[in-house]
């Protein structure tokens, strides 16, 4: 591990806005705040919103700044990524944003049923070859449904035509209530201050002429979801560039 990453890991250990519970620690110690996030972590009672795969935390920080009436938790397993957002939260004194370093598969050990109000999934890997790893697969959605309050909301914001179409089909097949659905967020006129918050990768896709897709829908506990047909969905034919090549051509 590089010295810069080691320095970031050491720094987030000292930040009150970061909790670190990777799988090994959860198995050894359990999680002390399950069902107690508002009372013992945030110390104020507000609706809780998760951002899954938060990366550097741009969306989590933006959401927290725009919505002081809600509490936000950015979740990612990469501590060196979380460092960026966590440092901003600490420096700005933002009291309604936290970061959690853990695997998304661990959510059921960290949150109590009905403890979450909303979930944002922003620009995840579409996992075109691995259906079970898609963050909007039936397995993950059923996990979210058990943690969300009845009628809790899931927002998927993505550049991936494949993941958007897969999720749209899943929502349609299972009769889930759709709150918002567009395959061109900024061209549709539906963008609002919340959905317009931009991550690094979103800026990259926009600079390359890609449209941003958004679908928001409700989940109910106890769902028994079915997978949609997806073999015929065209695969994405592009990839992300490293940060130093943001303006490179495809």
How far apart (Å, rounded) are the C-alpha atoms in residues 239 and 106? 28
Sequence-ordered strand ranges (E) for the chain = 18-20, 48-52, 71-76, 97-101, 116-122, 148-158, 178-182, 213-219
How far apart (Å, rounded) are the C-alpha atoms in residues 20 and 181? 34
The torsion of the CA quartet 122, 123, 127, 128, rounded to 10 degrees, works out to 120
Residue 125 bears catalytic tag: yes
Q: What are phi and psi of 127, to 5 degrees?
A: 50, 55
Q: Give the active site residue among 125, 172, 192, 237.
A: 125
Catalytic residue list: 125
């Amino acid at each position: 591990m590089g010295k810069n990453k080691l320095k970031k890991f050491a720094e987030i250990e000292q930040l009150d806005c970061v909790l670190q519970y990777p799988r090994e620690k959860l198995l050894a110690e359990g999680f002390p705040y399950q069902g107690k996030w508002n009372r013992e972590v945030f110390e104020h009672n507000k609706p809780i919103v998760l951002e899954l795969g938060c990366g550097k935390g741009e969306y989590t920080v933006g959401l927290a700044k725009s919505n002081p009436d809600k509490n936000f938790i950015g979740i990612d397993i990469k501590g060196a990524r979380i460092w960026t957002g966590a440092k901003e939260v600490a420096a700005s004194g933002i009291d309604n944003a936290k970061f959690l370093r853990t695997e998304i598969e661990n959510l059921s050990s960290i949150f109590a049923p009905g403890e979450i109000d909303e979930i944002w999934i922003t620009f995840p890997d579409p996992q075109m070859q691995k259906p079970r790893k898609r963050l909007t697969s039936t397995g993950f959605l059923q996990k979210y449904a058990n943690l969300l309050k009845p009628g809790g909301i899931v927002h998927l914001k993505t550049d991936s035509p494949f993941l958007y179409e897969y999720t749209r089909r899943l929502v349609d097949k299972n009769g889930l209530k759709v709150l918002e659905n567009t395959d061109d967020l900024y061209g549709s006129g539906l963008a609002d201050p919340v959905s317009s918050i931009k991550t690094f990768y979103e800026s990259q896709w926009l600079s390359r002429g890609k449209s941003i897709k958004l679908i928001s829908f409700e989940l109910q506990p106890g769902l028994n979801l079915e997978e949609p047909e997806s073999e015929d969905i065209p695969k994405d034919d592009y990839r992300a560039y490293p940060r130093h090549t943001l303006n490179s051509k495809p």
